[in-house]
Chains A and B, each alone.
Chain A
């Protein structure tokens, strides 16, 4: 099984440690992982801003880099969802379809494909899960509070395998953090207020760390936490699942 590692642009540039943790975790679990060099971005920043018509360059690059792999795995629910929903390339539609059908966010790849039921990881801290919307409502990583339906959570399922880790309960289990792509700058006031409110929920319930499946949300929350000079830190779920 050949797994292509998809490291979204802002993780590549600003959070290389998340890419390293993802790679290391997948290798530990026995995957044959390749990182196609030259990959850039899924195109979501343009598309969500109303410029989907500009994304053919990104789409073409994505198909060229990931066409020949059994699975494509990335540590970002939002970027993975974008590919799943919007990747199309004229003349390479078969390859694009293969990618759309075989791309996974890291946690769902672990629970659904690798069917991981134990992990050798230790993280003796109180942790709050930030359910990123695109992963949760878009990819179905966890049940959403809006529906009258049985609860489940793939990230929680994995974190419960980590020794010493204590999950904190939140008042609002799946409210958006306000990152929202370019929303975070074009609607700065509401974006920051949403982030502050999410943080307060975690802090009030004793979290030492906020984790999640999307670095974009965590980057936004981290920016606010650091401005507040808070001791609370953010970590991507891969970093916790990979910790010893």
Chain B
């Protein structure tokens, strides 16, 4: 099978070539998980809150059509222009057209995983428009010409020294200065110049309220506000699953989002955008891009409840030790691994297998998505659809034949253990991935069944 990317296991192995860096990456994200735990424990009704959020989203997914139309009606009444995009290509085209109408060649964008999913930046670049990402972490990876490695902490894989080097090269900060405070101030100066001259601003959307037609955008840096307030045209891009029924439901989601994401009680800015100010245009692009298809897959529907907090990444022992880029998808980690196969099953066939099914993700998830169970189910679907390697399939068929026949199992076990004892090199070699960094278990002369037959009743 031809793939555009190396598989997760290969990329993860490359990431593990530098063990000290893996340790640092693991510890950094584990620290975020611990901050989340502390915040969760500060709220006695935490588990009830998760349940409430999950049920509200359940209601949304069951009535999405109606809520979307309600949102559209109310947003239009507020003076916004609503656009519908069936897929990433349509989304990109709509945004390009709006930019061309304004005649801009350069504009600012706050964090939006949807635009990452749609690969908006490279598309606009092809059409001669430069996007300046204004979220600090996103700006850093943009300068490094890399995709984000985490949905909330886009440059979590970069050390401050590397960021100092990048800023020295691109923003002219003094060589060798890696002081976070200094570098942040430098970025602020640089971004301020962009905000002031940008006539169009793109933002993402965290929550879209059907009842009022308003959108809520959560940031810690206020960069969405800076962009949207200074520009003549505000374009808000959102996946259709971002809808919540009523404004009062924000009381549930805003309490969960930042606590789950970074261990903060709330994001610094939770900004409500309802109507364009005088002379300004507000465009909302509602994007499907596979979401309706996922809604139709009963086993995977719940994945659309995701509020993009990233808690499943921070807790995932595999993500922490393989890095976000090993998932070769805009959304990494456990949630990415259940969303991506819906977009392209062949391209992302490896992701549901990049997990031990430990279940930690499902239990930190603020909207209670059964992530590890969906990973298991995707494995079945991917195998049934024929996206498993032939060698693996052959191995599984052989294993099944042996394990389905007690006589054959007994003989094969006995012979196998005898070979391991007599000719250990047959298994203790470079072709056996187990043996690379681990000893094989010792092969006893008698199995338990042999022992039982000899020592207990016949």
Contact = CB atoms under 8 A, between A and B. Distances in A.
Interface string A143-167: 0111111000000000000000000
A54 B398 CA distance: 11
B219 interface: no
B379 A9 contact: no
A94 B205 CA distance: 50
B437 A224 contact: yes
A206 interface: no
A192 interface: yes
A181 B353 CA distance: 11
A172 B43 contact: no
Given A54-B397, A187-B8, A190-B16, A223 B357 contact: no
Given A46-B396, A189-B16, A193-B321, A148 B43 contact: yes
B322 interface: yes
B453 A37 contact: yes
Contact of A46 (B321, B384, B400): B400
A51 B357 contact: no
B357 A133 contact: yes
Contact of A35 (B357, B384, B456): B456
B446 A176 contact: no
B429 interface: no
Contact of B380 (A52, A147, A197): A52
B452 A37 contact: yes
B317 A176 contact: yes
A16 B358 contact: no
A12 B437 contact: no
Given A57-B400, A176-B317, A12 B8 contact: no
Nearest to A51: B396
A114 interface: no
A187 B321 CA distance: 11
Interface stretch (B86-94, B172-180, B332-340, B401-409): B401-409
Contact of B434 (A61, A149, A223): A223
A20 interface: yes
A40 B382 contact: no
Given A178-B317, A224-B438, A227-B437, A54 B453 contact: no
B233 to A, nearest CB: 43
Interface string A60-95: 010000000000000000000000000000000000
A80 B392 CA distance: 25
Nearest to B396: A51
A185 B355 CA distance: 12
B441 A137 contact: no
A46 B384 CA distance: 13
A7 to B, nearest CB: 5
Contacts of B417: 13-14
A35 B403 contact: no
A50 interface: yes
B265 to A, nearest CB: 15
Contacts of B315: 146
B358 A149 contact: no
Contacts of A49: 353, 379, 383, 392, 396
A168 B417 CA distance: 35
Contacts of A174: 360
Contact of A16 (B384, B397, B439, B446): B446
Contact of A57 (B322, B353, B403): B403
A194 B321 contact: yes
Contacts of A148: 40-41, 43-44, 46-47
Nearest to A148: B46
Interface string A1-41: 00000010101111110011001000000000001011111
Nearest to A188: B433
A179 interface: yes
B359 A41 contact: no
Contacts of A195: 438
A8 B22 CA distance: 34
A222 interface: yes
A227 B439 contact: yes
B406 A40 contact: yes
A226 interface: yes
Nearest to B450: A16
A170 interface: no
Contacts of B399: 45-46
Given A14-B443, A48-B376, A61-B406, A193 B47 contact: no
Interface in B268-284: none
A186 B364 CA distance: 26
A120 to B, nearest CB: 22
Contacts of B359: 133-134, 137-138, 144
Nearest to A138: B359
A46 B444 CA distance: 25
Given A20-B451, A187-B318, A224-B438, A137 B358 contact: yes
B46 to A, nearest CB: 4
B413 A180 contact: no
Interface in B305-333: 315, 317-318, 321-322
A187 to B, nearest CB: 5
Nearest to B13: A189
B447 A197 contact: no
Nearest to A43: B403
Contacts of B456: 35
10 contacts: A20-B448, A35-B456, A38-B406, A48-B357, A51-B393, A137-B363, A148-B47, A181-B356, A186-B353, A188-B9
Q: 6 nearest interchain CB pairs? A: A57-B404, A180-B356, A223-B438, A50-B383, A19-B448, A50-B379
Given A7-B448, A193-B16, A222-B441, 4 more contacts: A133-B357, A146-B363, A190-B321, A223-B439
